[in-house]
Structure 1
């Protein structure tokens, strides 16, 4: 085993269990036994425990003394808050990208949008989503803010990759949003680029929360079936104005 193997294994465990929780395979309060997880991933119990400890730090599981690990309670607002923070960071990166993006980088974004649209027409959902992710990565790289980009990546890993597939999979809305973001970047309009990026990321959150409620991942769903009210977060910052 190499020196880096153990951290990679615990990362794999965290990703696997996170997907189990957010897909509704395991419910709030349910105990997570290390043996089945280890068997599913073909690893020993030690990296499973390490991965579960990591998830306890992220709020996905609870470490209960002498009892093990249980799935933590989730609220719809928790999901909305995670997306809101990511939207703010991505918006700031878009604003910075507008200040310094090159012609070659703009051409790359245009090409990714064209490729995504073509994938949508031929019904290639996997390529469509992949090009969408590549678009966001290219915007972040154009910002030339590696620490901020790294922080955004850490937050993104706290949610299922399928969530972002859902955001990028809304054909017309996503294509329109991406094209508007490119226009703002080309115009060096950082405030508009930030606003458009935030709106794009937050656009599908309520629909996603409704889907998660159907999966039963929330411990205390509203008795009337209503989603918690949207916070009145101000999506503008002094840096973006």
Structure 2
């Protein structure tokens, strides 16, 4: 059976409290609100979210395994310094994975799904023009996931998902120049998919993701987040 955009779509389970705590602090770090060397206490996270200190601490331990936090003896959790190279490395990996998924999608995409992508992109550009960044984020996610699901490659999709925590959830609102760059890049990706050009689609998606990494690294450096 030919894969479709709806293939393998599953209901997302609710976040555990520890995951909620991790997501909250991760966002503070990648958005530049917490900087390298600053300390964060489980009790502070618990108060912010209205949860107990135990899941808050579990969330901070998760961020330690992800490389966002360091445990300093008798002091607690501090924000680990990230470099521009760290960010670009993550996005280079994401570009390879996203490019492969897009190349595979080019081999099976239909005219109907190309039209669906065009409709998503038109809505995204309209939302960006109105500075409705919540809607932009939702539509951007939908654009990428429509392509990635079409590839039929679950394991590669799982791998690319592991790189996503390094981008702030409010990427479009936070990173200057990204709405315009994204609109241009998405159009190029759609055209390569329309023509069934697998290698062209791979390169268009890879360039798009690498551009995101460059803009994010510049944004984090300007905010003082990078070490």
- TM bracket (short chain): 0.7 to 0.9
User: How far apart, CA to CA, are the structure 1 residues paired with 2:34 and 2:43?
Assistant: 15
Do the aligned partners of residues 134 and 91 (structure 1) sit closer, same or farther apart at CA in structure 2, a change above 3 Å counting? Answer: same
Residue in 1 that maps onto 2:162: 154
Q: How does the TM-score come out when normalised to structure 1?
A: 0.80
Q: Residue deviations 1:112-143, cap 9 Å, x none? A: 12222333444434333332221111111111
Q: How does the TM-score come out when normalised to structure 2?
A: 0.85
C-alpha contact (below 8 Å) 1:37/1:48 kept by paired residues: yes
- Post-superposition shift, 1:87? 1.2
Do the aligned partners of residues 144 and 19 (structure 1) sit closer, same or farther apart at CA in structure 2, a change above 3 Å counting? Answer: same
Residue in 2 that maps onto 1:136: 144
Compare CA radii of gyration and give the structure with the larger one.
1
Q: What value does the CA root-mean-square deviation take over the aligned residues?
A: 2.3
- Post-superposition shift, 1:196? 0.3
User: How far apart, CA to CA, are the structure 2 residues paired with 1:217 and 1:71?
Assistant: 9
Residue in 2 that maps onto 1:238: none
The reply on whether 1:30 has 2:38 as its aligned counterpart is yes
- Post-superposition shift, 1:83? 1.2
Q: Residue deviations 1:12-56, cap 9 Å, x none? A: 111111122223333222222111111111111111111111111
Could you list the runs of 5+ residues in structure 2 that have no partner in the other structure? 1-12
Do the aligned partners of residues 175 and 29 (structure 1) sit closer, same or farther apart at CA in structure 2, a change above 3 Å counting? Answer: closer
Do the aligned partners of residues 169 and 109 (structure 1) sit closer, same or farther apart at CA in structure 2, a change above 3 Å counting? Answer: farther
Higher relative contact order (CA 8 A, sep 6+): 2
The reply on whether 1:119 has 2:134 as its aligned counterpart is no
The reply on whether 1:101 has 2:109 as its aligned counterpart is yes
User: How far apart, CA to CA, are the structure 2 residues paired with 1:147 and 1:194?
Assistant: 18
User: How far apart, CA to CA, are the structure 2 residues paired with 1:139 and 1:201?
Assistant: 14
The reply on whether 1:215 has 2:223 as its aligned counterpart is yes
Do the aligned partners of residues 165 and 134 (structure 1) sit closer, same or farther apart at CA in structure 2, a change above 3 Å counting? Answer: farther
Could you list the runs of 5+ residues in structure 1 that have no partner in the other structure? 220-241
Do the aligned partners of residues 56 and 122 (structure 1) sit closer, same or farther apart at CA in structure 2, a change above 3 Å counting? Answer: closer
The count of aligned residue pairs is 215
The reply on whether 1:46 has 2:54 as its aligned counterpart is yes
Query: Which of the numbers 88, 91, 96 marks the counterpart of 1:80?
Result: 88
- Post-superposition shift, 1:169? 6.7
Query: Which of the numbers 33, 36, 56 marks the counterpart of 2:64?
Result: 56
